Amino acid sequence: MHVTGTSGKGSTVMMVGTMLRLSGKRTGIYVSPHTTTTIERFHGPDGLLMSTQEFITIADQLKPAIAQMDDHPLGTPSYLEMMVAIAFLYFKKTRCQW
């Protein structure tokens, strides 16, 4: 699910995520931008933020793929692209359904 708009996106995503989680679904939430720390972007199936250690582990797993893109005509991934990749890997690892 992708929520866009001018205002209310974060609140909408959190409400929908909570409803899905309370109905027994495993949810993952990625929000952008973050308010104070990058970790705020990632919420796991328990509704809590991803741990700092989990973020580091996944980021380290991405480093070789990112390094291979140094010579790619489109260049290396942007900050946003790397954050979305971390989110997708985290959601896969935690078996999110939504």
**pLDDT for residue 38:** 93
**pLDDT for residue 92:** 96
**pLDDT for residue 15:** 93
**pLDDT for residue 10:** 85
Helix axes 52-68, 79-93, angle to 10 degrees: 120
**pLDDT for residue 26:** 95
**Omega before residue 33 within 30° of 0, cis:** yes
Task: Name the pTM for this structure.
Answer: 0.87
User: Quick count: other Cβ atoms within 10 Å of Cβ 82?
Assistant: 15
**pLDDT for residue 62:** 95
Q: How far is CA 63 from the centre of its chain?
A: 17
**pLDDT for residue 41:** 93
Residues in the chain with pLDDT < 50? none
Instruction: Spell out where the chain has E strands.
Output: 29-30, 42-43
- Which helix (H) or strand (E) segment holds residue 95: the answer is none
**pLDDT for residue 1:** 84
